Structure 1
Amino acid sequence: MANQAMNTALEQLDNAVNAVVSAAAQAPEAASAVTGGAIDPFVFRLAIFVLSIFVGYYVVWSVTPALHTPLMAVTNAISSVIVVGALLAVGIPSSGLATGFGFVALVLVSVNIFGGFLVTSRMLAMYKKKER
């Protein structure tokens, strides 16, 4: 029962994220077209990035402690997708800039994944019964 509710909630969250990502991908060009080019798409994307930092901060800090472990698992899954992209950026022969950014992304996401596993294991250890 709880697994089915959690799966349904995760599916709804995934659908919402997909809708937001597709809308955000089209928003800068649409804003530029509507305003006749008065808004630079870079500035629009930067504003979205800054707002997403604030939203992410408030979303993460309002999560109840019981949901931290599933949240960390989802974060690790997202980071594994980033690893694939970083490996492609490093492995495919292209400009040195792309390879450099890919390497930096690979290092940072590796730290994120291993740190996430450490935090998750510590949190799961909190739920284990103490041995006497």
Structure 2
Amino acid sequence: MEVLNEFIRLNLDSIYVLILAIFVGVEVIKHIPAVLHTPLMSGANALSGVVVVGALLIMLQADPEDYLSLGLGFVAVVLGILNVVGGFAVTGRMLEMFKKKDK
């Protein structure tokens, strides 16, 4: 418990920035018009792809005995891949709505 308290005390500024970024991100996303969702989803897919590659590179450089780094890297890879796949699925569905139906 002392290690966690020390970590929080040393990184308090970063924690405040993270919390503020979460609140700002939620507010920005809530006010985006529906027309812009597909392009933004494509951008999010690209960023998630970068997250996956970055997590894999970090995991390759981590010490094999450092289970925390490996575990967090694994979680980052899994969540990034889920975000990419889900984003492409949603984008595909939205693009299907704009196709002309054949009679």
Range of TM-score over shorter length? 0.7 to 0.9
The superposition leaves residues 48-74 of structure 1 with CA deviations (integer Å, 9 ceiling, x where unpaired) of 111111111111121111111110011
CA distance in 2, matches of 1:52, 1:62: 16
Aligned to 1:68: 37
Compute the TM-score of the two structures, normalised by the length of structure 2.
0.81
**What count of residue pairs does the alignment treat as equivalent?**
93
Contiguous gaps of at least 5 residues in structure 1: 1-39
Runs of 4+ in 1 over 2 A off after TM superposition: 89-93
Distance 1:93 1:41, change over 3 A: closer
Contiguous gaps of at least 5 residues in structure 2: 1-8
Aligned to 1:30: none
Aligned to 1:7: none
Aligned to 1:113: 84
Structure 1 segment 1-132 matched on structure 2, within 5 A: 42-94=11-63, 95-132=66-103
Compute the TM-score of the two structures, normalised by the length of structure 1.
0.65
How far did residue 114 of structure 1 move?
Answer: 0.3
Task: Report percent identity of matched pairs.
Answer: 46
Amino acid at match of 1:75: A
RMSD, aligned α-carbons: 1.4
Say which structure, 1 or 2, has more relative contact order (CA 8 Å, 6+ apart).
2
Aligned to 1:5: none
